[in-house]
Amino acid sequence: MKIGFIGLGIMGKPMVNNLIKAGHEVLVYDIVEENVKEVVSYGATAVKSAKEATEESAGIVITMLPNSPHVKQVVCGENGVLEGSKPGTILIDMSSIAPISAQEIEKECHAKGVKMIDAPVSGGEPKAVDGTLTIMVGGEEEVFNEVKEILLCMGGSAVLCGKIGAGNTTKLANQIIVAVNIAAAAEALMLSKKAGVDPQKVFEAIQNGLAGSTVLNAKAPMMIENNIKPGFKIDLHIKDMGNILETGHSVGSPLPLSAAVMEMMQTLHADGLGQADHSAIAKYYEKLTGTTISD
Q: Is position 171 annotated as part of the catalytic site?
A: yes
Name beta bridge partners: 162.
138
Q: Which residues of 29-59 are buried (b: 16+ CB within 10 A; e: fewer)?
A: bbeeeebbebbeebebebbebbbbbbbebeb
C-alpha 142/C-alpha 156 separation (Å) is 20
Name beta bridge partners: 262.
none
51, 171, 233, 283: the catalytic one is: 171
Q: Concatenated DSSP letters for 154-184?
A: TEEEEEEEESTTHHHHHHHHHHHHHHHHHHH
C-alpha 132/C-alpha 142 separation (Å) is 23
C-alpha 215/C-alpha 192 separation (Å) is 18
User: Which of the residues are catalytic?
Assistant: 171
